[in-house]
Structure 1
């Protein structure tokens, strides 16, 4: 199922944990492994799939965001947008209620509902402030969401 699964050296695990902390504002355990699955490079934390790499950037998956309680790089959507996002649609600006002002175009971000439940991970197509104020257009390219293959592997 997984190819090339191996434990990370302490130094590499610490570097990834620091990067995740800087990006998301959450403390992540340092016992990590990586593995390949289809086109994905997965990140195991304490033996569970809690992250993956997007363009060689480590990021938590939906389950990891929930467990480690990420605070930064968050885009909040209204209830009307949820069903579309869970079907894999990109996040449209009109459905965005709030977004971290520090988000820059091309950043990896996560999407939550108004109650704070992580729904998806994606790539920002505009800056955070612009997402909230834009009346139209795609704001986040959906990479991973609840119900997709990575989510099923992490359950």
Structure 2
């Protein structure tokens, strides 16, 4: 999704009204209850909230020129990896084995065998079409964020095909874009 993403991709930037800002805040709070205590620091009510629209039905939520969340089509808001590194426990997590790391860094989707091998870990409660953080065996920080293609139970039982659709990974265009100045 963000492999070749850059500022040239931005089609519009708008400061949103208070009602839209409340709706975005509520949507993020519903999706990530772990952020409730720091929500005022992340998305202050008095600070302008900018919504950046990009092609491919992509929306970025920006505060103080820093992209914090993104949304694809009408899906749930997902934190950027920089935000996830600050608050690592806000998302459900999967872990891939060491062999999958180089493929994830190149933008490849996460295959079921990489999640079910001895180095992989699945959260059994995750359903299909849910955002998850992807961690690597032996690493502290997340290396990607994606959408599950099937539930964790199906990933474990089928063990074939794409398990997680990789949307944002370390060193992609969104990662390199620290600020929108």
Q: Which range, TM-score by smaller chain? A: 0.7 to 0.9
In the other structure, the counterpart of 1:59 is 78
In the other structure, the counterpart of 1:82 is 101
TM-score by length of 2: 0.72
Aligned in 2, Cα 1:44/1:88: closer, same or farther, shift over 3 Å? same
In the other structure, the counterpart of 1:130 is 154
Residues paired across the two proteins, number: 155
How far apart, CA to CA, are the structure 1 residues paired with 2:20 and 2:140?
A: 30
In the other structure, the counterpart of 2:130 is 107
In the other structure, the counterpart of 1:42 is 60
* Larger displacement relative to structure 2 (104-113 or 23-32): 23-32
Alignment of 1:140-151 (within 5 A): 140-151=164-175
Q: CA deviation at 1:149?
A: 1.3
How far apart, CA to CA, are the structure 1 residues paired with 2:123 and 2:73?
A: 21
Aligned in 2, Cα 1:15/1:70: closer, same or farther, shift over 3 Å? farther
Given that 2:111 and 2:161 are in contact with CA atoms closer than 8 Å, whether structure 1 keeps it comes out as yes
Q: Which stretches in structure 1 are left out of the alignment for 5+ residues?
A: none
Q: CA deviation at 1:130?
A: 2.7
In the other structure, the counterpart of 2:17 is 9
Q: Please say which structure displays the higher CA radius of gyration.
A: 2
Given that 2:146 and 2:168 are in contact with CA atoms closer than 8 Å, whether structure 1 keeps it comes out as yes
Detail structure 1 runs of 4+ shifted over 6 Å in the superposition.
none
How far apart, CA to CA, are the structure 1 residues paired with 2:141 and 2:169?
A: 12
Q: CA deviation at 1:116?
A: 4.2
How far apart, CA to CA, are the structure 2 residues paired with 1:26 and 1:69?
A: 10
- Which one scores higher on RCO, CA 8 angstroms, separation ≥ 6? 2
Secondary structure at the residue paired with 1:26?
helix
Alignment of 1:16-27 (within 5 A): 16-27=24-35
Q: CA deviation at 1:140?
A: 0.7
TM-score by length of 1: 0.82
Q: CA deviation at 1:21?
A: 3.5
RMSD: 2.3
Secondary structure at the residue paired with 1:63?
helix
1:71 aligned residue (68, 90, 98): 90
